[in-house]
Amino acid sequence: MTDRYAVIGNPIAQSKSPLIHGQFAATHGQDMVYEAIEGPLEGFADAVRAFIAAGGRGMNVTAPFKLQAYEMADTLSERARQAGAVNTLKFEGGRIAADNFDGIGLVNDLQRNLGMALSGCRVLMLGAGGAARGALRPLLEQGPAELVIANRHPEKAEALARPYAASHGVRGISYAEIGRQRFDLVVNATSASLRGELPPVPATAFSPEGLAYELAYGKGLTPFLRLAQNAGVSHLADGVGMLIEQAAEGFAWWRGVRPETGPVIRRMTVPLV
């Protein structure tokens, strides 16, 4: 019998996950189907249970359900526990196992695909929401010299940084406190680019020899990336590689085979113009 998988979110029409997993399955001869499900805002758990009852084997979870998926899981990976959010579920033996591959997807894209050496570099993370929370621990495991979290509401950045302040020196600050500090890697983990807006990061935060990374994907040259480009940064990237790398990690967890990501990244990359 063909195995069933899905991605659930609201809205979900924009999701590229069916295309990605469909290509992974075709390349590796996996007997599976993968669909997109728009979950009701007030009925996430019921939608997951209905999918399981219909024979579902696993699910990817996107906004706004990652925290609800965390609460629903019977078992959590250490990554998911540290992030406090879940992006992948596996259904076996009547139980729901959960993991979060967002952070490792980002790290894999930065190091494998973009050639960014994270050890010893200075990192600025913009935003303190779920995306930043999922990326924080995997980034720290690579040994950056410094990691600073900036947010419109500095108390949120401070709260996210606090568990890692003593062990890794992570700091949470306001945008105004960035001042003239310069970073090798600036990651936009805010939702500003989805609205065509620019987070209030100063142009002086970018190192011309560094990398500006936009978690949003398929938007071309977003206001954030344009600011970096105008500041002299030549190395720009959006989150399509992260999306595909985290999908590959989830696929391997489900199917026991880790797909090649390069061909899918090349197929889905939108020029940054």
Q: Which pLDDT score, from 0 to 100, does residue 192 have?
A: 85
Residue-wise pLDDT for 172-217, tens only, equals 999 999 999 999 999 999 988 888 899 999 999 999 999 999 999 9
Angle between helices 130-140 and 154-168 (to 10 degrees): 10
Q: Are residues 209 and 155 in the same domain?
A: yes
Q: Are residues 73 and 157 in the same domain?
A: no
Tell me the mean pLDDT in the region 146-162.
Answer: 97
Q: Are residues 134 and 191 in the same domain?
A: yes
Q: Indicate the residue among 36, 66, 100 that finishes a domain.
A: 100
Q: Which pLDDT score, from 0 to 100, does residue 7 have?
A: 98
Backbone angles phi, psi at 100, to 5 degrees: -135, 110
Q: Are residues 148 and 233 in the same domain?
A: yes
Rg (CA), the chain: 18
Q: Sign of dihedral through CA atoms 190, 193, 195, 200?
A: positive
Q: Are residues 89 and 111 in the same domain?
A: no
Q: Are residues 54 and 127 in the same domain?
A: no
Tell me the mean pLDDT in the region 159-177.
Answer: 95
Domain interval for residue 86: 3-100
- What global pTM score does this model have? 0.93
232: in domain: yes
User: 19: pLDDT confidence band, cut at 50, 70 and 90?
Assistant: very high
169: in domain: yes
CATH number at residue 25: 3.40.50.10860
Tell me the mean pLDDT in the region 40-45.
Answer: 96
List the end-to-end C-alpha distance of the chain, in Å, as a whole number.
45
14: in domain: yes
Q: Which amino acid is at 176?
A: A
Q: Are residues 135 and 173 in the same domain?
A: yes
Q: Are residues 71 and 133 in the same domain?
A: no
Q: Are residues 214 and 134 in the same domain?
A: yes
Contacts of 176 (CB under 8 A, 6+ apart): none
267: in domain: no
Q: Can 66 be counted among the known catalytic residues?
A: yes
CATH number at residue 141: 3.40.50.720
190: in domain: yes
Instruction: Please pick, among 66, 90, 156, 219, the residue that the annotation labels catalytic.
Output: 66
User: 218: pLDDT confidence band, cut at 50, 70 and 90?
Assistant: confident
Q: Are residues 95 and 153 in the same domain?
A: no
